[in-house]
Amino acid sequence: MDFLKFFGKNKKESNEEEQKNATIVINNLRDQVSMMEKRNTAVKTRIDVAISEAKQKLDKKDKNGALIALKRKKQYDAEIEKNQGIQLVLENQIYSLEGITMQKTIVDALTLGNKSIKKFNMQLNSEKIEELMDDIQEEADNFKMIQDAMAQPLQQVYNDTELLDELEQLENDMTDKKLELELPESLTLQNQRLPDVPTKGLPKLTADEELEQELAQIKDSMNVL
């Protein structure tokens, strides 16, 4: 059996029992106050009757009877005064018990709150917080290591010398091909027909001279490029 739990449960039951008993006592005191109020109301009625009787006796010239009536009134007045004193004591006890009960409830709440704070402080001490932060940092480092490991194949591709050389060769081939596609446009001058050289009035060339002239024209067109 968990003795701490057992004693804790008994303490809780004891507090509830004390609260219940205090409530019973307060209610009993309130009943006594109510009874005293009813008693005083009844005595006040008797006082009024005694005063009325004393007046009637005086009207009949019965002074002794009037004195006796006033004597009863005086006794009733004393009883009311005594009852009011008792009522005041009862009301003070009610006020004190209600205050003490409320303070006890507040103290119990503060005690429970303080125990909860201590419990949380034990769970949230500096050493445990440091351990938690270290665990978080460790997991972050592990995650970074995983990311780096997953990125290694790509880094190997980016750093592969043979692949880089092959990429450079491919870029050069593409550049050469692009130049080849642009070159015919610049060579259109070769395909243009050269103006005929006027031969009228000039001496007729031999076959060898005509061949040399054509070669010279071709050289001139290549120099233009």
Q: Where are the domains of the chain?
A: 3-127, 142-187+206-225
184 in Cβ contact with 225 (< 8 Å): no
Please calculate the CA angle 13-15-16 and round it to the nearest 5 degrees: 65
Higher pLDDT, 26 or 1: 26
Tokens of 65: 């009877």
Across 175-191, average pLDDT: 61
CATH class of the region 3-127: mainly alpha
- What does the pLDDT read at residue 157? 62
Give residue 55's pLDDT band: very low, low, confident or very high (50, 70, 90).
very high
Q: Tokens in use for 105?
A: 């409830």
Whether 39 has a pLDDT exceeding 70, the answer reads: yes
| Region at 61 (left for phi over 0; alpha for psi -120 to 50; beta for the rest) | left
Model confidence pLDDT, tens digit, residues 75-124: 999 999 999 999 999 999 999 999 988 888 888 889 888 888 888 877 77
**194: helix, coil or strand?**
coil
First to last CA, the chain: 108
Q: pLDDT at residue 5 above 50?
A: no
Name which of 82-86, 88-92, 158-162, 168-172 the model is least confident about: 158-162
Alpha-carbon distance of 5 to 1, in angstroms, equals: 8
pTM above 0.75, yes or no: no
Tokens of 88: 């005041």
Give the model confidence (pLDDT) of 206-215 as tens digits: 666 776 777 7
- Position 192 pLDDT exceeds 60: no
> Quick one: pLDDT at residue 89?
93
- Whether 195 has a pLDDT exceeding 60, the answer reads no
Contact 44, 80 (CB under 8 A): yes
Identity (one letter) of the amino acid at 36?
A: M
Work out the pLDDT band at 4, boundaries 50, 70, 90. Answer: very low
pLDDT greater than 50 at residue 189: no
